[in-house]
Structure 1
Amino acid sequence: MQVEFHGAAGEVTGSMHLVEVGGKRILLDCGLMQGSREAEQRNFEPFPFDPATIDAVLLSHAHIDHVGRLPLLTDRGFKGPILAQEATAELLPIMLMDSASLQESDAERSNRKRKPGAPEIKPLYGRESVARAMTQVRTLKYDLRISIFPGVDLQFRDAGHILGSSTVELQGDGKILVFSGDIGQKNTPILRDPEPVPAADLLLMESTYGNRLHKDRETTVAELGRIFEAAWKNGGNVLIPAFAVGRSQELLYWFAQHWDAWNMSRWKIVLDSPMAAKVVRVYDKYHAIFDEAAQKVMQGTQNPFRLPNLLITQSVEESKSVNALSSGAIIIAGNGMASGGRIIHHLKQHLERPQSHVVFVGYQANGTLGRRLVDGAQWVRIDRANVRVNARVHTVGGLSAHADQAGLLDWYSGFKVSPRVMLVHGEDIAREALAGELALRYGVDVDLAYPGDVVAV
């Protein structure tokens, strides 16, 4: 068995690792690179392998930095199966169609502005490419071990990151390879806790927050309540950049849980995402993989997805009408790093207003607008315009979809015999800290994966 690293190796987007086992070539994830303009341009480059030689793709979850280049892979010759957990498979076309729509819109906008004689700009892929890729998707339930090729077995375990998120266990050539995917926090609303894995010869482990400890959830939720109260008194709106899958649903859950304590009925709650209604329907379908507490909440008087003052916008016109709300609105819009999507227009509208509050509830990658805001930028560039940042910017780390250093170490402790580790999906400062802790506590070999590295198992 051999692993070659091609994405999310020294960074947190573009997850993609190539495994050779049992005479087959299997890709773990095929994610989009996000962040700076330079990072996004790398998506257009040729794959570092011939897509036609790939026998299968295994997906850890449906976030676009893990699945966003699948249509490109199939366009360039990949013909094999794409295996995903059931809920991931249902979220996949929603995420990818949205991505394709953004790619097409960006290309169209750029072409309108291009100089005479300049070549036409093509989107990375379009909706037709997504539709073709979806015909190759095959589903698998949690904890069911199957043989995907002779001598090669696969099992998905619940990673507790978003609905359908999986830790991937691959067996072949007498070895066990485990790919953590993105590991969630314990006691996250709606989701079950990350499932431990008993054994591995090599572990590819995420390290997004390998150098950080989150605030405890109780403190975080109390902080949210204080922000909403302050925003109401200031007479402004609250903007929350959030991905359509994961944090958006958790926020609605907290609104329902604290309906009376936070006086949520006075707010207009807006989920401004063309994907939101579709994602909510997927969540409604998969109550069986919710944790027990969430299953009870879904039967309560305030269903998180059917709050009486919740507006889920679908059309561009509905989204634009939200900009007319100068106060009294909590606006959740994509995307979570403010690197695109509808949140951009709301930030452009509200950042200059001192009564506005902007709340970040997830990781902000280098090069993104979100990262610049949480780092305290006084001016930002949006749609070629300079925008003064007068709004109050909050980072609420306890709602992260990723486990922190303590959570990652706790999950690793579930192995009966400590496996060798290659750290992926993290910037070096986070990976170095986690590597040190793992080596100190468990006496194991820990390496940092970089693009092009090859490791034999």
Structure 2
Amino acid sequence: METNLTIHFFGAASTVTGSKYLLELSGEKILIDCGLFQGLKELRLLNWQALPFDAASLDTVILTHGHLDHVGYLPLLVKQGFKGKIHATGPTIEIAKLILLDSAKIQEEDAKRANKYGFSKHHPAKPLYTTAEAEAVFHLFQLQTIDNWIKLSNLFTFRFRYNGHIVGATFIELKAADKVFVFSGDIGRQEDPLLFPPHKPEKADVVFIESTYGGRLHPANPEIRLAEIIRQASKKKGTIVIPVFAVERAQLVMFYLWKLKNEHLIPDVPIYMDSPMGQEVLQIFGKHPSWHKLSPSEAKQIRREIKVINKQEETEKLAVSNQPKIILAASGMATGGRVLTYFEHYLGQKSATILMVGYQGEGTRGRALLDGATQLKMRGKFWDVHATCTLVEGLSAHADQSELIDWLNNLEKNPEKVFIVHGEPESSRALKAKIEEVYRYTCIIPELNAAYTIPVHIIDHKD
């Protein structure tokens, strides 16, 4: 029987965040990823809107990995009536739980602070979701291993494939009727100090490929640049603040700092990780050794070298200290979290350095600093910027353009369509042009909320 499968792009289309791809076929509905929007205010406001489909009618959710922009909307999905299974790898489930609890806690703290100091136009200010609502997701998680086909129904079968990026991350191969749909998720680096190279798809009728760095090439040897900046910044005897994502980026920067300090390539100043979640992710690394390269002895030495800050009171005490130091704190784009406390104390100091080590989305404080902002708005106030703000490129967990092109080179035949997603427009256009140049594939950059139909053949007893 000939029919159409419909694909809806409810996130990460013409933008980087909010990944949500809904597939509908013969009354069955599957959602690939369920992330929060981040960055620009008009995107963040979308998080407060109800989904454009009935959450209760959704059969299944499949997660590529545990980052907030891929899992952060799950509490709201459940709140709106979803009761099905959420399929993910073991590390992804553990990371998603940490991410969701941390997200809920930050939102609750921000709402509490906004109500206390009156800097929200909402009275009272409320969190997007609570800790209890985050925890309500957990019983729906369904653990799956990689490389094994899982039958969801007579129409849908899928498997996870190793993808680098962060521990537990995968791309998804989904068989829908007679077609194979490949969802790249976020693709990792070919040469990553902590993770193995991503696997590559061999069969795909339709490909969804991320384009975060679709128009960029990462420089080689970023640790050399990292050491140079730290040595230069240390001459000012000030504090170096490094906004980091608590998952993978934090562990990678911790690894580099430990290595550089051990090799006497950076000054012997104290290093702090102000993200209890970052420490917990290191423990997840320890529980899943087959997913990464980090040895138990290295992890132990890193934990011994870098002091973890757990309590808010410790954050406040460290923030007012004039001692030269390096502080790693979430969030990675300075959209929230404890890094803002350090910004309040150090943005105005000429001796301080704000060191970015990852992608800074449009509309984030991290992007504003790199663009030369002289003031930042935080917690209802404007703060002058006198600190040095700089970026170390090449520490991204995302594949660059050449690696994205390489990821496609094992396909046995040309896919019918390649949807270029999860990128700002300029990056997506650059990747589209390169894929068309190298492979001559038909590429589409979908708009947010766009829908496309793919013809499929369903085999039934009459065929």
Residues 366-413 of structure 1: per-residue CA shift (max 9 Å, x gap): 111001001111222223333222222111120011111111111111
Aligned partner of 1:205 among 192, 209, 217: 209
Asked whether 1:34 is paired with 2:32, we answer no
Q: Which residue of 2 aligns with 1:329?
A: 325
TM-score by length of 2: 0.93
Aligned partner of 2:361 among 360, 365, 368: 365
1:10-21 aligned within 5 A: 10-21=14-25
Q: Which residue of 1 aligns with 2:297?
A: 299
Q: Which residue of 1 aligns with 2:459?
A: none
Q: Which residue of 1 aligns with 2:151?
A: 147
CA distance in 1, matches of 2:122, 2:421: 39
Q: Report the CA distance shift for 1:115/1:171 in structure 2 as closer, same or farther (over 3 A).
A: closer
The aligned amino acid for 1:372 is: A
Mapped contact 1:247–1:401 kept (Cα < 8 A): yes
The aligned amino acid for 1:448 is: I
Task: Give the root-mean-square deviation of aligned CA atoms.
Answer: 1.9
- SS of the aligned residue for 1:108 comes to helix
The aligned amino acid for 1:164 is: G
CA distance in 2, matches of 1:256, 1:98: 26
Q: Which residue of 1 aligns with 2:163?
A: 159
CA distance in 2, matches of 1:415, 1:22: 28
CA distance in 1, matches of 2:266, 2:41: 38
Mapped contact 2:21–2:33 kept (Cα < 8 A): yes
Q: Report the CA distance shift for 1:122/1:353 in structure 2 as closer, same or farther (over 3 A).
A: closer
Aligned partner of 2:407 among 394, 408, 411: 411
Mapped contact 2:181–2:204 kept (Cα < 8 A): yes
**Deviation (angstroms), 1:284:** 1.3
Which is worse superposed, 385-394 or 160-169? 385-394
Q: Alignment length, in residue pairs? A: 449
1:278-297 aligned within 5 A: 278-291=280-293, 294-295=294-295
The aligned amino acid for 1:120 is: P
**Deviation (angstroms), 1:268:** 0.9
CA distance in 2, matches of 1:116, 1:259: 43
Q: Report the CA distance shift for 1:441/1:364 in structure 2 as closer, same or farther (over 3 A).
A: same
Asked whether 1:449 is paired with 2:419, we answer no
Aligned partner of 1:266 among 262, 265, 268: 268
Which is worse superposed, 434-443 or 100-109? 100-109
TM-score by length of 1: 0.94
Q: Report the CA distance shift for 1:66/1:115 in structure 2 as closer, same or farther (over 3 A).
A: closer
The aligned amino acid for 2:323 is: S
Mapped contact 1:4–1:454 kept (Cα < 8 A): yes
CA distance in 1, matches of 2:158, 2:64: 12
Structure 1 unmatched runs, 5+: none
Aligned partner of 2:279 among 277, 280, 293: 277
Q: Which residue of 2 aligns with 1:438?
A: 435
Q: Identity over aligned residues, as a percent?
A: 35
Residues 101-151 of structure 1: per-residue CA shift (max 9 Å, x gap): 112122222333459997433321111111111110001111111112233
Which is worse superposed, 275-284 or 8-17? 275-284
Q: Which residue of 1 aligns with 2:233?
A: 231
CA distance in 2, matches of 1:415, 1:392: 45
The aligned amino acid for 2:44 is: E
CA distance in 1, matches of 2:72, 2:127: 13
1:112-191 aligned within 5 A: 112-114=116-118, 119-191=123-195
Mapped contact 1:270–1:332 kept (Cα < 8 A): yes
**Deviation (angstroms), 1:326:** 2.1
Which is worse superposed, 419-428 or 276-285? 276-285
- SS of the aligned residue for 1:266 comes to coil
CA distance in 2, matches of 1:352, 1:272: 20
